């Protein structure tokens, strides 16, 4: 396509504006028929454009893609229009998600061994909300289901991928043996 | 019984008992059972004179066996040590879980902060998907509860007809196709009861009902009801001009 730089930038912006889900650089390249390297540079330009203080939106890198979202400073005004359902996660839900995110694939007994409480209901809810998914079954007696986090989890926590999870604090005291839940993003 | 052998066994048991009681033997001797079996194997029933000797032997043997069994049971101090050990193991395990839990608690706080930040940054909302409920708003004079009530009647009737139990292989698209054909043959309108094949089992009724909903959603057909609890009529959308003729 015979586009100048401004038009290419506008095309990428239009795609991001129209999509409700994050778009990867590859998807943007395919949609605009522009080379991947140029997309990266256009995304940088777009990010700079939205960084301007008078911009109401910003470009975020979430769940392996790029997404235009409103700025947190204007949340109150936006929420009067959108009236979103309150989706604030409980502390127990975030705690369970943390265990799954760091320990996946992980079984319910493994989660419960750290949390010390029954998590069956919570796991069902998190699965229903699309934040976790069943990855398979562990090859141990009873073949319990193994869980992992989803792309929606990454979006909800503003993570590009699991490597962006905050590092787990070191184990203390030092004489404590190998943890039941392994670190790693699986 | 060879008296010499019996005396030899008795002597050995006496010595063994003495050593046990003096604490000279620390582990339970394996030879007790062997000696007792030897003594028993020699046996002819004891004569009256020998009863005292036999009784003395039994008393001796039972004391040896009692001592051996005591040696097999862990001593009190050993039991205490074992309890203390498992108590310590439990404490270690609990400590390990607490440490694990604390590590995850810390990242949980960080993740909660991130989630809260993201919650205030709204993405574009997905386009509204037209659901059945929205589509069903087009139903003329009947709502979903009317359709469900009519379905329940058909299901109740389908139960009354005994038939061979067999697995019915039927899909929603099959039923949609069948419904289109029926409507076409019936000049574009049918009563609700007539959309179900006669003598249909529950599975066919349910799948046909789902097909009906799907066709309403797609705008292929419309349904109308003359009056509350009255007959529901299904129309092909192409023949929707007939709806008025039903009196709606």
CATH assignment at residue A20:
1.10.10.10
**Tens of pLDDT, residues B88-138:** 888 887 788 788 888 888 888 889 888 888 888 888 776 554 444 455 555
Mean pLDDT score, B198-212: 83
Least confident of A5-14, B187-196, B220-229: B220-229
pTM greater than 0.80 (yes/no): no
Quote the pLDDT of residue A185. Answer: 38
pLDDT at A150: 93
Clarify whether residues A96 and A160 are in a common domain. yes
Contacts of A166 in chain B (CB under 8 A): 107, 110-111
User: Within chain A, which residues score under 50 in pLDDT?
Assistant: 174-180, 182-186
pLDDT at B216 over 90: no
SS3 B74: coil
Q: What pLDDT does residue B102 have? A: 83
Do A159 and A95 share a domain, yes or no? yes
Q: How far apart are CA B40 and CA B29, in angstroms?
A: 19
User: Other C-beta atoms within 10 Å of B111: how many?
Assistant: 24
Residue A78 lies in a domain: no
Whether A53 has its CB under 8 Å from any CB of chain B: the answer is: no
* Higher pLDDT among residues B212 and B35, named by residue: B212
In this structure, are B144 and B240 located in the same domain? yes
B44 has pLDDT over 50: yes
Q: What average pLDDT score do residues B61-66 get? A: 83
Q: Is B153 inside a domain boundary?
A: yes
Quick one: residue A123, left, alpha or beta (phi over 0 = left, psi -120 to 50 = alpha)?
alpha
Higher pLDDT, B83 or B179: B179
DSSP readout, A27-54?
HHHHHHT--HHHHHHHHHHHHHHHHSTT
Question: Across chain A, where does the E strand assignment appear?
Answer: 57-62, 65-70, 106-107, 132-137, 145-149
Residues spanned by the domain of A159:
91-164
What pLDDT does A178 receive?
38
Burial label, A122 (beta-carbon count in 10 A; 0-12, 13-18, 19+): buried
A72 CB neighbours in chain B (<8 A) are 117, 120-121
Nearest by Cα to B216 from B149, B150, B142, B154: B142
Q: A19 touching B, CB under 8 A? A: yes
Q: Among A72, A105, A129, which residue terminates a domain?
A: A72
User: In chain B, what percentage of residues exceed pLDDT 90?
Assistant: 0
Q: What average pLDDT does chain A have?
A: 84
Alpha-carbon span B154 to B79, nearest angstrom: 73
Do A176 and B99 form a contact (C-beta atoms < 8 A)?
yes
Between B146 and A59, the higher pLDDT residue: A59
**8 Å CB contact of A98 and B104:** yes
Partners of residue A66 on adjacent β-strands: A23, A61
Distance from CA of B15 to the nearest CA of A (A): 51
Query: Can you tell me the distance from the alpha carbon of A143 to that of B36, in angstroms, rounded to the nearest whole number?
Result: 52
The rounded mean pLDDT for chain B is 75
Q: Which of B46, B72, B98 delimits the end of a domain?
A: B72
Q: Collapsing DSSP states into helix, strand and coil, what is residue A59? A: strand
Q: What percent of chain B has pLDDT over 70?
A: 73
Question: What angle, rounded to 10 degrees, do the helices at A120-128 and A108-115 form?
Answer: 120
Partner-chain residue, chosen from B96, B99, B121, that has the shortest CB–CB distance to A60: B121
- Min mean pLDDT across B5-9, B123-127, B241-245 is at B241-245
Query: In 3-state terms, what secondary structure has residue A147?
Result: strand
Statement to judge: residues B47 and B144 lie in one domain: no
Same-domain pairing of B139 and B240: yes
Tokens 């040696």, located at residue = B71
Give the pair of three-digit tokens for residue A15: 């795609």
């Amino acid at each position: 396509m015979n586009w100048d730089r401004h038009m290419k930038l506008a095309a990428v912006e239009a795609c991001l504006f129209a999509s409700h889900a994050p778009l990867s650089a590859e998807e943007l390249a395919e949609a605009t028929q522009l080379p991947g390297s140029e997309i990266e540079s256009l995304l940088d330009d777009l990010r700079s454009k939205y960084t301007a203080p008078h911009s109401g939106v910003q470009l975020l890198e979430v769940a392996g893609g790029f997404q235009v979202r409103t700025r947190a400073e204007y949340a109150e005004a936006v929420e009067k229009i959108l009236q979103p359902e309150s989706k604030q996660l409980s502390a127990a839900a975030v705690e369970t998600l943390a265990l799954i995110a760091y320990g996946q694939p992980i079984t319910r007994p493994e989660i419960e061994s750290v949390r010390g409480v029954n998590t069956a209901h919570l796991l069902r809810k998190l699965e229903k909300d699309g934040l976790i998914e069943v990855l398979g079954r562990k090859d141990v007696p009873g073949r319990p289901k193994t869980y992992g986090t989803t792309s929606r989890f990454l979006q909800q926590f503003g993570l590009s991928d699991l490597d962006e999870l905050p590092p787990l604090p070191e184990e203390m005291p030092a004489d404590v043996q190998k943890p039941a839940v392994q670190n790693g993003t699986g | 019984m060879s008296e010499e052998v019996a005396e030899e066994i008795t002597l050995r048991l006496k010595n063994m008992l003495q050593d046990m009681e003096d604490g000279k033997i620390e582990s339970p001797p394996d030879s007790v059972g062997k000696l007792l079996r030897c003594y028993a194997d020699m046996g002819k029933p004891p004569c009256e004179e020998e009863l005292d000797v036999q009784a003395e032997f039994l008393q001796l043997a039972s004391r040896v066996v009692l001592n051996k069994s005591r040696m097999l049971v862990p001593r009190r101090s050993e039991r205490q040590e074992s309890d203390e050990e498992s108590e310590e193991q439990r404490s270690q395990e609990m400590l390990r879980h607490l440490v694990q839990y604390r590590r995850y608690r810390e990242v949980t706080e960080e993740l909660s902060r991130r989630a809260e930040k993201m919650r205030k940054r709204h993405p574009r909302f997905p386009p509204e998907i037209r659901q059945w409920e929205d589509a069903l708003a087009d139903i003329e004079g009947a709502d979903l509860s009317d359709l469900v009530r009519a379905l329940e009647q058909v299901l109740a009737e389908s139960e009354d007809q005994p038939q061979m139990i067999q697995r019915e292989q039927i899909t929603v698209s099959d039923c949609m196709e069948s419904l289109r054909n029926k409507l076409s043959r019936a000049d574009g309108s049918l009563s609700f009861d007539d959309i179900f094949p006669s003598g249909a089992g529950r599975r066919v009724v349910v799948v046909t009902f789902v097909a009906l909903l799907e066709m309403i959603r797609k705008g292929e057909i419309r349904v109308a009801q003359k009056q509350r609890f009255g007959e529901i009529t299904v129309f092909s959308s192409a023949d929707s001009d007939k709806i008025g003729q039903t009196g709606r």
